[in-house]
Amino acid sequence: MNYFSSKKPYFIAGPCSAEDELQLSAVSEAFKKLPVDMMRAGVWKPRSKPGHFEGRGEEALKWLKEIRKTSSLPICIEVANKEQVELALQYEMDAVWIGARSTVNPFIVQEIADALKGNKVCVLIKNPINPDIELWSGALERVMNAGIENIAAIHRGFSSYDSLSKYRNKPNWAIPIELKRRYKDVPIFCDASHICGNRELIPYVAQRALDLDFDGLMIETHPDPDKALSDAQQQLTPDQLGQLLSSLIIRTPIDDCSQEEIEQIRQILDSMDAEVVDLLGKRMELVEKLGRIKGEYNMPVYQTDRWREIIDTRTQWGLKNGLDAEFISKLFELIHDKSIKTQIDLLMKIEADKK
């Protein structure tokens, strides 16, 4: 069994960066009272600009090795090249994570994977900074091909140029969901801290991840967040982490009885959807027939009055059936747009055939 599937949800927490021994022991001491399964701490910090705190390096590994001995918590750190992997192994780290800035680079991921070959260490792979599922999936495969069995993916959001976004890194949930569909046996965690960039939003994103059936969370935690040397705004105190973890609604697996009922309802939904698709097919046949008539009589394909009538009547019908007007109007805009496009394509083909 995958190491990270031992508990669901699996909780990883700890400071953005390992700053000093006191900070690390304060955090690991506080975690004894919390359901934290693994401690994180950055040892080498990837900073966008030079001149900022870049981590304590090997010295921090010495502290972490000590913490590992005194507390029973497994520890994970970030690695971004071969030398860092070798040091992580030398200091007996339980897990390493590949950061978002490394996942974008197949050369680096391959270098890390090669250095990991033949080792039992667990590996967590964050999504690349840009919303490209193939890079993420490629990184997973490079690490799997190196023979690493205990792998998990971490969703930490995607960079965007949208200055109005409330997130530091946009979640784009469809991407991690697709990754989960592709790799059913790879647990996927949500790093709510790097998605949010501020501590206020974290409970909302963490709950959202659990509702989407994520397998765990990674949350940055610092004894005195405002004084943190990196990512100060997004770290929680251990107390705040405790409150967050106890307030999360964990939807436990359904029992056999409700599973049966769900299956029955799904079967009915399947047959209803089949009818909807069947009707859409028949509708489209009529749209084509109508397109030919419009062509014969030289009528314009698009008629504003008809479009308005479609949207008005359908939203009225929707309201009578308890359906949201916006939903129905969007649905019929889509259907009508497709119908118009089908008729235009048809008329162009008829004209081309005449020539």
> Residue 148 binds which entry of Mn ion, ligand PEP, none, with Cβ cut-offs from 5 to 8 Å by kind?
none
For residues 157 and 211, what is the distance between their CA atoms, to the nearest angstrom? 17
For residues 222 and 189, what is the distance between their CA atoms, to the nearest angstrom? 20
> Residue 19 binds which entry of Mn ion, ligand PEP, none, with Cβ cut-offs from 5 to 8 Å by kind?
none
Checking 348-352 for CB contacts under 8 A at 24+ apart, the result is 350/292, 350/295
Give the 3-state secondary structure percentages of the chain, helix then strand then coil, rounded to 5.
55, 10, 35
User: Taking the complex as a whole, how short is the minimal distance between the CB of residue 178 and ligand PEP, in angstroms?
Assistant: 19
Query: Of residues 155, 194, 222, 314, which one binds ligand PEP by CB under 6 A?
Result: 194
Q: Is the peptide bond before 9 cis (omega within 30 degrees of 0)?
A: yes
Number of residues that bind ligand PEP (CB under 6 A): 10
Q: Check: CB of residue 290 under 8 Å from CB of residue 343.
A: yes
Chain residues binding Mn ion by CB under 5 A are: 16, 231
**Beta-bridge partners for 85:** none
User: Taking the complex as a whole, how short is the minimal distance between the CB of residue 113 and ligand PEP, in angstroms?
Assistant: 17
Helix (H) or strand (E) holding 189: strand 188-191
54 versus 333: smaller Cβ distance to ligand PEP: 54
For residues 162 and 91, what is the distance between their CA atoms, to the nearest angstrom? 40
For residues 75 and 94, what is the distance between their CA atoms, to the nearest angstrom? 5
Q: Check: CB of residue 11 under 8 Å from CB of residue 36.
A: yes
Task: Find the residue with minimal CB distance to ligand PEP.
Answer: 99
Pick out residues in 64-103 that bind ligand PEP (CB under 6 A). Answer: 99-101
Q: Does 242 participate in binding ligand PEP (rule CB under 6 A)?
A: no
> Residue 223 binds which entry of Mn ion, ligand PEP, none, with Cβ cut-offs from 5 to 8 Å by kind?
none
For residues 112 and 317, what is the distance between their CA atoms, to the nearest angstrom? 59
Q: Does 16 participate in binding ligand PEP (rule CB under 6 A)?
A: yes
Q: Annotate each residue in 141-160 with x if it binds ligand PEP (CB under 6 A) or - if it does not, as one string.
A: ---------------x----
User: Taking the complex as a whole, how short is the minimal distance between the CB of residue 187 and ligand PEP, in angstroms?
Assistant: 17
Q: Does 126 participate in binding ligand PEP (rule CB under 6 A)?
A: yes
> Residue 156 binds which entry of Mn ion, ligand PEP, none, with Cβ cut-offs from 5 to 8 Å by kind?
ligand PEP
> Residue 99 binds which entry of Mn ion, ligand PEP, none, with Cβ cut-offs from 5 to 8 Å by kind?
ligand PEP
Pick out residues in 34-53 that bind ligand PEP (CB under 6 A). Answer: 42, 46
User: Taking the complex as a whole, how short is the minimal distance between the CB of residue 126 and ligand PEP, in angstroms?
Assistant: 5
CA angle, residues 122, 207, 247, in degrees to nearest 5: 100
Query: Where on the chain is the footprint of ligand PEP (CB under 6 A)?
Result: 16, 42, 46, 99-101, 126, 156, 191, 194
